[in-house]
Amino acid sequence: MMSSYSELIKNFEKIRAYMRDFYVYGFKSRDDFKSKSARSYDDERRRIESWLGDNMSFVRTPEGKNVFISIDSRTIRHNPLYKAWKAKSFTDGDITLHFIIFDILHDPAVKRTVSELLAEIDEKYLSDFESPMMFDESTVRKKLREYCEAGIIVAEKEGRKAYYRRADSTDISDLNDVLHYFSEVAPCGVIGSFILDKEESDTDSFTFKHHYITCAIDSGVLAALFTAMREKRAVTISNMSRLKDLPRLNRIVPLRVFISVQSGRQHLLAYLPEYNSFHSYRVDYLSNVKLEEPTPRFDELRAELDRMQGKMWGVSVKRNKWGVDHLEHVEFTVKVKDNEEYIVGRLEREKRVGTVEKLDDNTYRFSADVYDSSEMIPWIRTFICRIVKMNFSNRSVGNRFKKDLEVMYRMYNVEEVSE
Amino acid sequence: MIFRELYSAYYNTVAAIISSIIDGEHSEKELQKIVADRAFGESVLVILPSLKTEKWQLVHPDMTTSLEHKPTMPLTTLQKQWLKAISLDPRVKLFGVKFPDLEEAEPLFTSADYHVCDKYGDGDPFEDEEYIRHFRIILEAIRKGSQIKFEMVNRKGNMMFVRCRPVRLEYSEKDDKFRVITAGCRAVSTVNLANIRFCAHYTGERQSVGEEKAVIYDTVTVKIRDERNAMERFMLHFAHFEKQAEKLDRKNYFVKIKYAHDDESEMVIRILSFGPMVEVTGSESFKKLIIEKLKEQLNYGLK
């Protein structure tokens, strides 16, 4: 029996979770994907292997074979995960019709009605085949409508007749470097990669450090959210919480995407009309974005977010239901040796919404008032070895920091040395 | 909608095959090479056979085609919207290119729609005229494989005169900086573009001999205790490295990460930022760096 396996897929959402698990985690065996069928796991793994080739590795463990994607993104010039977006399935009729339509409409000056196109397709392009495909008028019309929506075909009325022609070409011959660079660093960079695919390959002069390629698989959600923001619309969206098994459907007003270039995460800051509150969502947990009606409050809500941003260290917002801010004060003092000006430089460039104050030639104090001081903890830990004093208005956060330090001392058998 | 067949590797490959046939290439071996270069690992089993068997009625069994024009496709609205968004990015001035007329396309996003919340505050001056001039000289030299000369102040504060062949520009999203990776200069293998002064094409006869300096790699092995979602945070944070992970039990994981030796100090503080949830188990020298920091911290105490 012939296998129905194909390296192309119809539904991107299905492969998204696999890509993420193979790339981000890499320790999961076939059994860990127990929520999916074994057949599904095998097919998806085979597809990803087919797309990513050398970037896939595996190890054998007592639990079985673990497949993972391992890529040092500093050594690559193009995000390999974009390939998943280039694996959309299609029918035999789709591909045949696509190339014939664009061969007939090879220049923007050439225009045809549906019936003229249909006749030409049959007579000129298909009649020489042994069993020529038969396209009816509604199929061709549907394809043309789809292409008009995509912006690649233009429909024009002349009297009572509708003519179709290809859209005008766009000269992008100057943009080679721009495309190579921005397809890696701009949001939804995969769209730049689609454009590059159509161009003859040229010199690629860029590589990237601290380059999180995972977000590529969230580009579909991100593009839909950008569309909603541009049109000032609310959306209904599925949110998969890491604490719950089933996704939750939310109606929200998307306001801004927060991109972290240090943690590899992207969050959506949105307004929840139902609770009159602002909330952040992990973009990689979101799916099925459905655009709803425009909201007249969009500009007002975004202005409110602008104001709140001055108190956000990361993506957390703490306000009560009447919109009153709950702020936490954080300050810590570091000792800087004579040859360690770079530490002062670090404080200055990494301070975000905080301020840095020089207390004396070797002592500096950082302070900030933020919604959620626990978000700052990982950063403050990077100054371990020079923190001489700290003060958290949220005492549980301060105490946890100190307790964690104690655990680390014990973990590495570090004991105080008396001078 | 991003996920559509118009952007697919298969459509692009078939377009390249048809172009090649129109150019007079009918050898299956050569056409199969196009598939291998442009499509996926198993596409060789699908694309040419589908064309040859008339499943996709675009090419006849003798590898000729009724199509008369090399396949091309105008940009989609989505592509124009993305390009429009890029045209509004201040960094685009670096390239000195004229953007095409994107008609009425609205930008897919603007700077108001997203916020990079943790990039460093001392990024490169992308709109500074001198910086832009240097960027373009370097980019041109990379394309041509030619040499440049410039002045810079090194870490010790001394002025240096450098002649080298730039081989690529490395951009860090976190630092928001470009670094120039060079070849043929022993003293300087990587230089921050913003530190370069008086950059010009070198037109003299002296040749820069040598390749880009090879990166020296080290590995660090850590044990992650999965509390406070540490495992997911760690794996995402270090996602851009080559790494291998192993699950020890329900709560504990081992991860081995390969990193460039030059970035060791940065790796130390990145691992420290995870606190007690991540313990360095190797190498001993890396572990020692963590211990030194903790020792110094312990001696400061906290009041």
Q: Quick check: B275 contacting A, CB < 8 Å? A: yes
Question: How many angstroms away from the CA of B135 is the closest CA of chain A?
Answer: 12
Report the Cα–Cα distance between both ends of chain A, in Å, rounded: 79
- Mean pLDDT, range A300-304, rounded to an integer: 97
Question: How far is it, in rounded angstroms, from Cα A154 to Cα A166?
Answer: 6
Q: Quick check: B274 contacting A, CB < 8 Å? A: yes
The percent of residues in chain A predicted with pLDDT above 70, rounded, is 96
**Alpha carbon of residue B148 to chain centroid:** 23
Of A60-74, A319-333, B132-146, B231-245, give the range with the top mean pLDDT.
B132-146
Question: How far is it, in rounded angstroms, from Cα A284 to Cα A282?
Answer: 5
Cis-peptide, bond into residue B283, ω within 30° of zero: yes
Contact A170 B299 (CB under 8 A): no
Question: How far is it, in rounded angstroms, from Cα B86 to Cα B105?
Answer: 12
Closest CA to A370 of A332, A323, A315: A315
Question: How many angstroms away from the CA of B205 is the closest CA of chain A?
Answer: 24
Confidence bin at A418 (pLDDT 50/70/90): low
Closest CA to A371 of A314, A304, A306, A307: A314
pLDDT of residue A200: 73
Contact between A174 and B91 under an 8 Å Cβ cutoff? The reply is no
Contact between A116 and A105 under an 8 Å Cβ cutoff? The reply is no
Most B CBs within 10 A among A5, A42, A261, A333, hence the mutation to make, goes to A261
Contact B72 A379 (CB under 8 A): no
> On the CB side of B244, how many CA atoms lie within 13 Å of its CA?
12
- Mean pLDDT, range A172-179, rounded to an integer: 93
Contact A23 B170 (CB under 8 A): no
Tokens (6 digits) for A345:
């430089």
Tokens (6 digits) for B196:
């370069």
Name the residue among B79, B233, B242 with its Cβ closest to that of A194: B79
User: Is the pLDDT score of A261 beyond 70?
Assistant: yes
Contact between A59 and B244 under an 8 Å Cβ cutoff? The reply is yes
Q: Quick check: B268 contacting A, CB < 8 Å? A: no
User: Is the pLDDT score of A285 beyond 50?
Assistant: yes
Q: Quick check: B76 contacting A, CB < 8 Å? A: yes
Phi, psi (5° rounding) for residue A79? Answer: -65, 115
- Mean pLDDT, range B281-301, rounded to an integer: 94
Most B CBs within 10 A among A12, A22, A69, A72, hence the mutation to make, goes to A72
- Mean pLDDT, range A30-37, rounded to an integer: 69
pLDDT of residue A131: 94
- Mean pLDDT, range A110-121, rounded to an integer: 97
Helices (H), A72-218: 92-104, 114-120, 137-150, 176-185, 190-198
Q: So what's the ipTM on this one? A: 0.96
Contact between A221 and A85 under an 8 Å Cβ cutoff? The reply is no
Contacts of A192 in chain B (CB under 8 A): 82-83, 86
Closest CA to A182 of B193, B126, B12, B181: B126
User: Is the pLDDT score of B303 beyond 80?
Assistant: no
Contact between B229 and B202 under an 8 Å Cβ cutoff? The reply is no
Name the residue among B9, B122, B175 with its Cβ closest to that of A83: B9
Output the CA torsion sign for A227, A232, A237, A241.
Answer: positive
Name the residue among A99, A177, A384 with its Cβ closest to that of B294: A384
Amino acid at A8: L
Q: Say which residue the tokens 């045209």 belong to.
A: B87
Question: How far is it, in rounded angstroms, from Cα A414 to Cα B272?
Answer: 15
Question: How far is it, in rounded angstroms, from Cα A238 to Cα A17?
Answer: 14
Confidence bin at A242 (pLDDT 50/70/90): low
β-pairing verdict for A286-294 and B177-183? unpaired
Phi, psi (5° rounding) for residue A97? Answer: -60, -40
Question: How many angstroms away from the CA of B204 is the closest CA of chain A?
Answer: 24
Q: Quick check: B282 contacting A, CB < 8 Å? A: no
Q: Quick check: B77 contacting A, CB < 8 Å? A: yes
Question: How far is it, in rounded angstroms, from Cα B233 to Cα B231?
Answer: 6
Confidence bin at A1 (pLDDT 50/70/90): very low
Residue B242 bridge partners (DSSP): B258
Contact A87 B97 (CB under 8 A): no
Contacts of B68 in chain A (CB under 8 A): 103, 106
Q: Say which residue the tokens 């675009």 belong to.
A: B58
User: Is the pLDDT score of B50 beyond 60?
Assistant: yes
Greatest pairwise CA separation for chain B in angstroms? 84
Q: What is the pLDDT of residues B73-130, one digit of tens each?
A: 999 999 999 999 999 999 999 999 999 988 789 999 999 999 999 999 999 999 999 9
pLDDT of residue B209: 80
- Mean pLDDT, range B145-161, rounded to an integer: 90
pLDDT of residue B75: 96
Most B CBs within 10 A among A213, A309, A374, A384, hence the mutation to make, goes to A384
- Mean pLDDT, range A200-215, rounded to an integer: 86
Question: How far is it, in rounded angstroms, from Cα A146 to Cα A168?
Answer: 17
User: Is the pLDDT score of A205 beyond 70?
Assistant: yes
Contact B97 A178 (CB under 8 A): yes
β-pairing verdict for B114-116 and A248-259? parallel
What does pLDDT average to over chain B? 94
Question: How far is it, in rounded angstroms, from Cα B241 to Cα A212?
Answer: 9
Q: Quick check: B62 contacting A, CB < 8 Å? A: no
Report the Cα–Cα distance between both ends of chain B, in Å, rounded: 56
Contacts of A94 in chain B (CB under 8 A): 5
For chain B, helix, strand, coil in percent to 5 are 35, 25, 40
- Structure pTM? 0.95
Contacts of A124 in chain B (CB under 8 A): 66
Confidence bin at A244 (pLDDT 50/70/90): low
pLDDT of residue B16: 96
User: Is the pLDDT score of B187 beyond 90?
Assistant: no
**Alpha carbon of residue A11 to chain centroid:** 17
Lowest mean pLDDT among A240-254, B64-78, B170-184: A240-254
Amino acid at B106: E
Contact A86 B69 (CB under 8 A): no
The percent of residues in chain B predicted with pLDDT above 70, rounded, is 100
Q: How far lies A297's CA from each of A250, A274, A292, A300, A318, in Å?
A: 18, 14, 14, 5, 21
Amino acid at A354: G
Name the residue among B174, B235, B247 with its Cβ closest to that of A210: B174
pLDDT of residue A2: 44
What does pLDDT average to over chain A? 92
Which 8-state DSSP code applies to residue B59? B
Lowest mean pLDDT among A27-41, A268-282, B172-186: A27-41
Confidence bin at A32 (pLDDT 50/70/90): confident
The percent of residues in chain A predicted with pLDDT above 90, rounded, is 76
Chain B's closest residue to A404, CA to CA, is: B276
Q: How many residues does chain A have?
A: 419
Question: How many angstroms away from the CA of A362 is the closest CA of chain B?
Answer: 14
Most A CBs within 10 A among B55, B59, B86, hence the mutation to make, goes to B86
Closest CA to B275 of B299, B294, B250, B257: B294
Question: How far is it, in rounded angstroms, from Cα B5 to Cα A89?
Answer: 6
Q: Quick check: B299 contacting A, CB < 8 Å? A: yes
Phi-psi sector, A188: left (phi>0), alpha (psi -120 to 50), beta: left
Confidence bin at A36 (pLDDT 50/70/90): low
Question: How many angstroms away from the CA of B31 is the closest CA of chain A?
Answer: 17
For chains A and B, count residue pairs whose Cβ atoms are closer than 8 Å: 394
